[in-house]
Amino acid sequence: MLSNLSISNYALIDSLNVGFDNGFTVITGETGAGKSILLGGLSLVLGKRADLSSLRDKNEKCIIEADFNIGQYGLMPFFEQNDLDHEEVTVVRREILPSGKSRAFVNDTPVRLDILSELGNRLIDIHSQHQTLELTENDFQLKLIDALAENAENLSKYKAQLQSYQKEEKELQQLIDFQNNADKEQDYNFFLLNELESANLKEGMLEALEAQYEQLNNVEFITEQLSKGNQLINGEQIGLLNLMTELKQVISKLSGFNEKYADLNARIQSVAIELDDINGELELFQEGIEANPSLLEEINAKLQLLYNLQKKHNVQEVSELIKIREELSEKAFETANLDDKIAAKKEALTELKNKLETLIILLRKRRTAVIPKLKKQLEEDLGQLGMPSASFQITLSNSETFKITGKDDLSFLFSANKGSAHGLLKKVASGGELSRIMLVIKALLAKYEKLPTIMFDEIDTGVSGEISNRMAMIMREMSREMQVFSITHLPQVASQGNQHYKVYKSEEAEVTKTNMRKLSEEERIVELAQMLGGKELSESALAHAKQLLN
């Protein structure tokens, strides 16, 4: 239940702090006094989107804080799921900064607006005049039937299965679409894959082929240069080997005289060994090189193939061609296995569909069972509210498609008078009739949904006299199970409250402010008398007010 509400710097409210008790609480005030402002502030703390225009002083932040006693409402799983501290008295706070940004906190832990909104839906049902129009919508009507049928657990299972079914259905369609596209591209992709596979692509092969091509293409020049090199090393008179032999002999004669000559001799010996190795390699190169026009032609063909593939696929490296080949190979594998995947997905869908149909039958069975009870209860309750001839025709029919609530189409028709044809609520019910229907429906839902608090904003619009008194009695009866608020202009309703609060305006230093306070017994009599007879209090109005309170 809502135990305290604090609002500062919001619209016409400078600072407001008010506590509430359980039971039936009524709120009254003149038109324009600010009752809608109070509701607006409460809506913000329950997750409604903020607006910078809400700030009274644009340079200061707006703070709205509400305390809720939640110990007995089974909200622990929600708090654990969202990593929040569960407190017997939970404090929800909303701040709107001058920048336009807003922040939300639950027990001083920052929360996202969607989490705050979800928590708010579990704490208070604020019923505005606009929400009465929900009564005319099938979703709301089916929600009512499911509440009476206690279908919550079955609906939860159905929604989970439906989510799985829709996921599998989407994946199946993606596979079918992929297969359709793959069939169109398959021949071309196989051609590209065969082309790349026949090239026997390997890392580094392009560089190796280019080096081999350069050697074979320049074999005459290379042979000529190797021959010259061999001659320079092995020439009989001025060959490097002969000259090196003489040099070794000369310097070796000096090595015994000084250590530096010995070092020089060692270096010459090392050069001689290196020169001998070079001579050996030159001879091997000469023996290994020969003109091979056919091999040159073969290598040139391989290079042209690689160059063409690079150009065709718009890449620069063989490694990129290898990657494309692997991708095409994967596509070919996927395409080859698509039939099996599609068949498996269809089988899984059939199994899920069967489970859905089982749950749908159970949902429909329970709904069908409670419809007569709902019809009877609504008609009896409306009879107590001055609509003795009200009647409903409520039927279910099978839908062709899976919906979030099952496969039931609901027909919810109403007639207020004997002999009148039944029709859709939004077409045949007046505003006053809709208010009374909504009240009895909310009273029914309250027994099943176990919501902590409900707030009616002028649900008694369009009714008066004895009917308004009976509506008040229904709200008071509801307050035995939950906390009930009613914002009203009717003295018959206001007199039934366990507590009575008044919203009023005051002017301080030429500034208009909205305030709210709890009325004492004497103040309630005056307020009711003014609601009955206007500002000028008469003895009869005061007597009538006392009679209403008693």
Is 337 within 8 Å of 221 (Cβ atoms)?
A: no
**Has residue 275 been placed in a domain?**
yes
**Has residue 277 been placed in a domain?**
yes
DSSP string, 447-484: HHH--SEEEEESTTTT--HHHHHHHHHHHHHHTTTSEE
Task: Give me the residues paired with residue 102 across strands.
Answer: 96
Q: What is the DSSP letter of 342?
A: H
* Domain shared by 200 and 330, yes or no: yes
* pLDDT at position 550: 80
pLDDT band of 450, cuts 50, 70, 90: confident
Query: Does residue 133 register a pLDDT over 70?
Result: no
Structure tokens at 524: 């309630």
Domain boundary among 336, 358, 389: 336
* Domain shared by 15 and 62, yes or no: yes
Query: Does residue 393 register a pLDDT over 80?
Result: yes
**Has residue 136 been placed in a domain?**
no
Cα 458 to the center of its chain, rounded Å: 35
* pLDDT at position 378: 93
Residue 274 identity: E
* Domain shared by 201 and 301, yes or no: yes
* Domain shared by 315 and 250, yes or no: yes
Structure tokens at 23: 């039971």
Task: Give me the residues paired with residue 393 across strands.
Answer: 413
% of the chain exceeding 90 in pLDDT: 40
* Domain shared by 515 and 537, yes or no: no
* pLDDT at position 533: 83
- What is d(CA 88, CA 445) in angstroms, rounded to the nearest whole number? 25
Q: Which DSSP helix (H) or strand (E) runs through 89?
A: strand 89-96
Determine the structural domain holding residue 230 and report its residue range.
Answer: 180-336
Is 41 within 8 Å of 13 (Cβ atoms)?
A: yes
Residues whose CB is less than 8 angstroms from the CB of residue 15 and which lie 6 or more positions away in sequence, other chains included: 7, 8, 9
Residues whose CB is less than 8 angstroms from the CB of residue 349 and which lie 6 or more positions away in sequence, other chains included: 165, 168, 169, 172
- What is d(CA 505, CA 30) in angstroms, rounded to the nearest whole number? 9
Query: Does residue 184 register a pLDDT over 70?
Result: no
**Has residue 436 been placed in a domain?**
no
Q: What is the DSSP letter of 136?
A: G
* Placement of tokens 């299965």 in the chain: 161
Is 366 within 8 Å of 200 (Cβ atoms)?
A: no
* Domain shared by 460 and 526, yes or no: no
Q: Which residue has the higher pLDDT, 145 or 464?
A: 145
The average pLDDT across 158-172 equals 93
pLDDT band of 130, cuts 50, 70, 90: low
pLDDT band of 155, cuts 50, 70, 90: very high
pLDDT band of 257, cuts 50, 70, 90: confident
* pLDDT at position 18: 93
Q: Give the chain's domain count.
A: 3
Q: What is the CATH number of the domain that holds 114?
A: 3.40.50.300
- What is d(CA 252, CA 265) in angstroms, rounded to the nearest whole number? 6
pLDDT band of 352, cuts 50, 70, 90: very high
The model's pLDDT over 294-345, given as tens digits with 9 standing for 90+, comes to: 888 888 888 888 888 888 889 888 889 889 888 887 777 666 677 888 888 9
- What is d(CA 13, CA 155) in angstroms, rounded to the nearest whole number? 43
* pLDDT at position 7: 92
Residues whose CB is less than 8 angstroms from the CB of residue 476 and which lie 6 or more positions away in sequence, other chains included: 24, 484, 496, 497, 498
* Domain shared by 184 and 332, yes or no: yes
* Domain shared by 264 and 280, yes or no: yes
* pLDDT at position 490: 92
* Domain shared by 77 and 16, yes or no: yes
Torsion on CA atoms 319, 324, 328, 333, rounded to nearest 10: 40
Task: Give me the residues paired with residue 68 across strands.
Answer: 2, 90
* pLDDT at position 158: 94
Structure tokens at 514: 């909205």
Order across the sheet with 391-403: list the strands: 391-403, 406-415, 423-424
**Has residue 297 been placed in a domain?**
yes
Long-range contact set of residues 331-336: C-beta below 8 Å, sequence gap at least 24: 331/182, 331/189, 332/189, 332/190, 332/193, 334/178, 334/182, 335/179, 335/182, 335/186, 335/189
* Domain shared by 195 and 260, yes or no: yes
Mean pLDDT, the chain, whole residue set? 87
Cα 255 to the center of its chain, rounded Å: 90
Query: Does residue 50 register a pLDDT over 90?
Result: no
Torsion on CA atoms 488, 491, 492, 494, rounded to nearest 10: 50
**Has residue 61 been placed in a domain?**
yes
* pLDDT at position 479: 92
The three-point CA angle 356-360-361 to 5° equals 120
The model's pLDDT over 260-290, given as tens digits with 9 standing for 90+, comes to: 888 998 998 899 899 889 888 888 887 767 7
The model's pLDDT over 68-114, given as tens digits with 9 standing for 90+, comes to: 999 888 889 999 999 999 999 999 999 999 888 889 999 999 999 99
The model's pLDDT over 395-436, given as tens digits with 9 standing for 90+, comes to: 999 988 899 999 999 999 999 998 889 999 888 888 888 888
Q: Which residue has the higher pLDDT, 264 or 293?
A: 264
Q: What is the DSSP letter of 286?
A: H
- What is d(CA 482, CA 449) in angstroms, rounded to the nearest whole number? 11
* Domain shared by 317 and 186, yes or no: yes
3-state secondary structure 19-41: ECCCCEEEEECCCCCCHHHHHHH
**Has residue 13 been placed in a domain?**
yes
* pLDDT at position 492: 92
* Domain shared by 464 and 528, yes or no: no
**Has residue 212 been placed in a domain?**
yes
Domain boundary among 300, 318, 336: 336
The average pLDDT across 120-133 equals 79
Domain boundary among 310, 336, 362: 336
pLDDT band of 353, cuts 50, 70, 90: very high
pLDDT band of 27, cuts 50, 70, 90: very high
